[in-house]
Every structure is written in C-alpha cells, then in structure tokens.
Amino acid sequence: MSGFIFKRLLSKLLVFFIFFLGACSTNIPQPPALMPAADAALPVPTLADSAPTLENTALPAPTEPKKSQLGPCEGNDEYNQPNYVIVEAGTKAEHVWKSQFVPWWVRSSPDGRVLAVTNGGDSIYELKPDGTLETAFRCPGVMIETFTAASDGALWFATRDGGRLYRVDKEKKVKIIAQNGNRNLEAGLDGSVFAMENGIVQIFPDGMSKPIAQKVYGRKFAIGPLGEVVALVDGKIVQVMDEGIVKTIASGYGPEPWLAFDQDGFLFVTHWNGVDRIDLTNGTINTITWLQGINIAESGTFAPDGRLLMYHPNTNVYAIDFEQKNWKTYYQVTSNSWAMAANSDDGVYIAFGNNGSAGETAIFKVINQNTLELITKVPYGIERSMAFDSSGMGYLAVGDITKGGAIYRFDPESSQVELYHLPKCFPGSLTVHPLTDQLWWSDCNNTLESLDVNGVLQTIPGIPGAEGYSLAITPEGEFYTIVFFHRDDPNTPYKHGIYHFNEGISTWEVVADLTQMDPGITLSTITACPDGSIYTIESLDSTNLPVNHSSYNAVRRLEPDGRLTLLGFDFGFDGLAASCDRSTGQIFFTSAEGIFAVTPP
C-alpha cells in the first residue's frame, strides 16, 4: 500500500471502527458469488420475452421561452430561465456546473474563419488557430440553434423559438427575415441560404424565398460548391435535381451520419465509425479505410484550409488531414464527460481527456457553476468513468485508441496519483460496492471485474450480446445494469434494458425493456442511492419536441414492479455519467450543458 493511501486511511480509522462495530451486529448480505470469466455463456431471457415493455412516458410539452417583445438583439432575461421541466412533485434540480461552449454547429466563413455556436447560446464564436475561443457576434435575448456564413459575408442564424430566421450584414446590422420553420441552415450561392425542416427552401438576402423540395425533410443536408443539394432522409442520401426531382444516391446509413462537401465537390458522409467519400458524378462510394473505427466525432464540415473538421457536443473539434492521413485536436472542449462522481462531503469531480497523440486526462473539482479547479493529470486521453470509495479516494478509468485502458487511483487532497490496474480492454462504469468498498468495473463488454483485498481479480460474467454496461450496486449489494445489444440494421432501435444479477442462480434477469422508438438513442445510465432507490438518466424521445431536439436527458426512478417514474426532463442532451451522493442522496449527472443535480422527492 502506498504512503499517501495509508495516511488517508489512518485519518478515517475512527469512522471505519464505528462502521465495523455496526457491521458485526447485523446480518449483512454478501456480495454476489464470483465466477470465472470463462463461464460467460449464461442463460439470459430476451427482452421481448421476459421483460415488461415500457411505453415512452407521456411527457408534457417542454416550456418554451417567451418570445421577446424587444428589438432583434436586445437583452431579455426570460431566456435565462432554466429549460428543464420538473414533473414529479417535490423533485428539485439545480445546475451545478455550466459548460462554456460545446460544438453544436461548426461552419467555415468565406473570410477564412472557423465559426461555431453552442447549444442554446446567444453567440457565434470563432475557433482560433491557436486553440482559443473568441466571440464573433452576440445577440442577447435569443437562443441560437443553427447558423451559416453566406458567400457575401453575411451571417444567418435560426433561433430555438420556432426557427425564427435572422440575417446579420457586414456592418452587423440585424434583420429578422422569417418567423418560423427554418431551423437548419446551409450557405448557397450569391449570398443565399438554404433552410431545411419540413422541406427545403432557398432564401435570398432580400427575404424572398423559393421552394426546392417539399417532401425532403429532417435536419441533415449539405449544399455543394456548384449548388448541389443533398440530404439524409430515412437512412438514404438523396440529391434534389432540377424541378424538384429526388434521386437516391446511397442507402443503408441509418439516422446518425452527417453530410459535408469539400471544395472539389466531393460529398463526405461522416460518422463515429468512419468517413465515406461519394462522387456525385458517377455515384462511386469510397470508404476511407484509415478512418474506420476512429470514434472521435460524428458531425463533419470542411475548414478553409481543406481539412475535415469532425465534432460533436460530447467531444473535441478534430481536424483530419487527408494528405498526412492523421487527425489532431483543433479545439479542446470541456463540457460533457464520461467521468464524473460525487465525493461525499467533499463535492463533485469531473475529468476531461484530450484524446491526442500524447494523450492525457485532467481531473477537476467543481468549485461553482463557472469554475473548475485542476487536481491532477494522468496518462491516456479518453476519460471513461470515475468513482470514490468511503475513504474519499478517487478512481479514474481512462483509455487510448492504440494503448488500451487503465485505472488510476488519486487522492483529491494531495493530488497524488498511482496506477491501480491495467485491464484487458477499455474499463468503464466504475462503481464502489457499498458493503465491501471494492471497486467494480466493466471490461471488454463481457465481464464485470474487481480486485479483492489481496489484489486478486474477481469476475462476474456479463450478458451475452451486450455492447456496453452502466453499473449500479445497491446498499444491500445487489447488482443492476443497463445494457445495449448489437443491432444489424441501423434503422432499427437499439434493444436495451435494465438487468439484475440473481446471485442464487448466477444469472442476469431482465427487469425492464427500455428500448425506445428512436434508433439514435444510445445513452442510458443507472445509479443507486443510499435509500436503495435506483434511478436512470436517459435520452428519451417525444413528438412534443422540435426536430432539432429529438432526444434529451430525463431522470426516472425504477419502481419495484419495473415501472419507471419520471422525475424531470430536458436537462440538456447526451447524458454520459451519473453518481448518487452517499451523504445527501442527490443524483449528479453530466450532459452537454454541464453537470446537474436532482434531489428526489
């Protein structure tokens, strides 16, 4: 045992002694029977046959901010009210830490700048070549959703309040062009822009508009250097030809990829798993092999220097160089994180990795809504998960695309850090057992693992076919997990559900089928609180939401009969990490808007 751990344990000796006396006087359930990983082929009931299928909870429509009665860019405090909606009486919520910027929409400007907007912000930012962020334009009182920089130098942006469309000329004079229905924007020729929501329309600087394709709808489209119009609809890439004729270019992509043209007129299809290049002149599709499985981002756009920028609110902005066949971090984002945890009586901690060639991950303590304090840094550039034991020691799982993963142990007080364990693959879902204080994690998507007091590896076989785990252990030592299963058709929803480990028969049993109707939903996290309650933080889908807001974070409580009670929703989007504070019972979780805390009723 290292010296800094021993010193921390001595300081907690009295607490442990009291806990020990209490433990000896009660009949504490033992942790689940441990089994070798070789016994992974367990009989597991399928979701369809063995679990209640839960319909999406009937959600009230999100509270829309009131439309400003002031000028186009005059302040309006009504837009600064919380967006989240509390459903269950007695539930409380607060924004613990706010993200400054996430790359919600990135585009190039004709003057050579790289511009971007953040989710629900009131500014258009410039991502500087030196890695800094600068405000290019601000419009107080509005919530900018998408924007584009037209060929004549004007900025156009659409707002979240129904898609109101604005144009900002070179002198930064602001004019409202349209009141609604123009959420998604791309620059065209001659200073015009194209807007897409319920069909595609071309809009000119004087406000006149021209319908292009009424039956091509959605959110993902691109305009080529010669005015080519392509869109992603129902997993198909289509091109709008003359007189509105729609031609299918490719199919089988699912709902998640994005489209972008380079300066030579080639169409690029970007996704977490790779990049395709399509030649519209002959329909040839080429997969860029050295980018397969890159897993750095989803959305793509081209920088003025010809590099492909890939981004997503969960990740940094990366620049892909096709000549050098590599990618580098263009702008490092600190917003959403896979690694966040509450350290009882000490606050909340969060980690961000740079995912670079010299990979490292920085650990921060949350001071207030706007401030993070650096604690320490560890090797590996992908943050995976974080947890704290009862003595206040922190554990951080990290990974690297080429090196695999590692688990580090750190002391928040002294900032000292040491290597705890080298797993076989990428470790994730770190969770501390409340009865044994042992750290558990998932590895290689097929086992749950832990080190006992002697450093011997213990395993619980995973669920056959599972592609990811979110692990929770109740105060009684019961193991619960949310898992997603492999799908062959990208247009079908991922099957995923809540499972419970039955120690008596060493089998995972289905508690609830959480499969949603939106194929793009791939994020659900589970956590257990000191009172024994289990909560999920999920991306849910609702027809009440506008097209660019198809999924959002919701907090639900698992009931004994397998039902899920909705506590609140619209806490940003793409929740990645969840942690329940042992001392307060507050549920902390990350999203693209930062860290939220929900206090159950």
Residue 197, pLDDT score: 78
Q: Would you place residue 245 in the very low, low, confident or very high pLDDT band (cuts 50, 70, 90)?
A: confident
Q: Among candidates 129, 197, 142, which has minimal Cα distance to 168?
A: 142
What is the average per-residue pLDDT within 535-547? Answer: 71
**Where do we find the tokens 């890939």?**
310
Hey, what are 562's tokens?
């397998």
- Mapped onto helix, strand or coil, the DSSP state of residue 386 is strand
Rounded Cα distance, 126 and 109, in Å: 10
Whole-model pTM? 0.80
What is the average per-residue pLDDT within 322-336? Answer: 90
How is residue 87 annotated by DSSP? Answer: -
CB neighbour list of residue 495: distance below 8 Å, 6 or more residues apart: 47, 484, 485, 487, 513, 515
Query: Does 230 have pLDDT greater than 50?
Result: yes
Residue 48, pLDDT score: 52
CB atoms under 10 Å from CB of 84, counted, come to: 22
Rounded Cα distance, 267 and 188, in Å: 15
Q: Would you place residue 505 in the very low, low, confident or very high pLDDT band (cuts 50, 70, 90)?
A: confident
Query: Does 199 have pLDDT greater than 50?
Result: yes
Least confident of 505-509, 542-546, 566-570, 573-577: 542-546
Residue 45, pLDDT score: 53
Residue 14, pLDDT score: 33
Residue 543, pLDDT score: 54
Q: Would you place residue 234 in the very low, low, confident or very high pLDDT band (cuts 50, 70, 90)?
A: confident
Residue 260, pLDDT score: 97
What is the average per-residue pLDDT within 81-91? Answer: 84
Rounded Cα distance, 363 and 361, in Å: 7
CB neighbour list of residue 236: distance below 8 Å, 6 or more residues apart: 248, 249, 250, 251, 253
Residues β-bridged to residue 200 = 196, 213
pLDDT single digits (tens) 123-181:
999 999 888 899 999 988 788 889 999 999 999 999 876 668 899 998 888 998 887 76
Q: Among candidates 462, 460, 432, 448, which has minimal Cα distance to 530?
A: 432
CB 503 within 8 A of CB 457: no
Residue 64, pLDDT score: 42
Amino acid at 343: N
Rounded Cα distance, 269 and 287, in Å: 9
CB 497 within 8 A of CB 512: yes
pLDDT single digits (tens) 416-442:
999 999 999 999 999 999 999 999 999
Rounded Cα distance, 7 and 9, in Å: 5
Residue 42, pLDDT score: 44
CB 555 within 8 A of CB 587: yes
Query: Does 268 have pLDDT greater than 50?
Result: yes
User: What is the average pLDDT score of the chain?
Assistant: 84
What is the average per-residue pLDDT within 570-581? Answer: 90
Rounded Cα distance, 430 and 65, in Å: 38
What is the average per-residue pLDDT within 492-496? Answer: 88
* Report for 59-68, 143-152, 181-190: range of highest mean pLDDT: 143-152
Q: Would you place residue 294 in the very low, low, confident or very high pLDDT band (cuts 50, 70, 90)?
A: confident
Query: Does 5 have pLDDT greater than 80?
Result: no
**Where do we find the tokens 């019961």?**
478
How is residue 83 annotated by DSSP? Answer: -
What is the average per-residue pLDDT within 373-392? Answer: 96
Maximal C-alpha separation, the chain? 82
More confident residue, 594 or 548: 594
**Where do we find the tokens 């004007």?**
154
CB neighbour list of residue 193: distance below 8 Å, 6 or more residues apart: 148, 150, 156, 185, 186, 187, 202, 203
Rounded Cα distance, 576 and 231, in Å: 29
Residue 547, pLDDT score: 52
What share of the chain in percent tops pLDDT 70? 84
CB 107 within 8 A of CB 126: no
pLDDT single digits (tens) 205-221:
988 988 898 888 778 99
- Mapped onto helix, strand or coil, the DSSP state of residue 455 is coil
pLDDT single digits (tens) 401-416:
788 999 999 999 999 9
List of E strands, 263-381: 267-271, 274-279, 284-287, 299-302, 308-311, 317-321, 326-331, 339-343, 347-353, 360-368, 371-379
What kind and span of H or E run contains 15?
helix 13-24
Rounded Cα distance, 598 and 331, in Å: 31
Rounded Cα distance, 356 and 15, in Å: 42
CB 283 within 8 A of CB 249: yes
Residue 477, pLDDT score: 96
CB 261 within 8 A of CB 267: yes
Burial of 91 (0-12, 13-18, 19+ CB in 10 A): middle
What is the average per-residue pLDDT within 577-582? Answer: 96
What share of the chain in percent tops pLDDT 90? 57
